[in-house]
Amino acid sequence: MDNFSTQRDSFMKAALESGKTLEALNSKFWGNFSKTQTAFCEGALETAKQWACNFEQHKALPELFDAQSKLAGDYSTRLMATSREITDMFLATREDYKSWFEKGFQFFTTQAEAVMVKPVVVRKAA
């Protein structure tokens, strides 16, 4: 019974530790994701303001079209950069989650093998 208590305590401690690690991974990812999205939205709002200001600043259509094309290009560049950054975050986080899962699975397998009942070999009488 003492062995069972020790193994249960060890398992519970590892599960709690694993939960904290998972929480830290989630917090890190969503914090970075939120910062990236916030920066992108701020840039999009600035582009929208500039777009509206272009109507007042440029009276000739060719100048207006040039200014609006430049803004569209800048916005597109910002969108692609943000997409790349988020993709990189997902890839990095995927590796962290994979590592977390493998570590937990290895521990669980070790614990399960330790408490598993081993079959008894019975010899038949001749």
Instruction: Give the pLDDT confidence of 13-52 residue by residue, as tens digits.
Output: 888 898 899 999 999 999 999 999 999 999 989 988 888 8
Which one-letter DSSP state was computed for residue 116?
S
18 dihedral zone (left: phi>0; alpha: psi -120 to 50; beta): alpha
**pLDDT score of 26:** 92
* Nearest in space to 22 (alpha carbons), one of 82, 78, 77, 100: 100
Cα–Cα dist 44/50, whole Å: 10
Q: Is residue 118 part of a domain?
A: no
Q: Is residue 35 part of a domain?
A: yes
Q: Is residue 85 part of a domain?
A: yes
Which tokens in the block code for residue 117? 């009942």
* Count of the separate structural domains present in the chain: 1
Range of the domain at 67: 30-101
pTM over 0.75: no
Residue 41 makes CB contacts below 8 A (sequence gap 6+) with none
Report the percentage of the chain scoring pLDDT > 90. Answer: 41
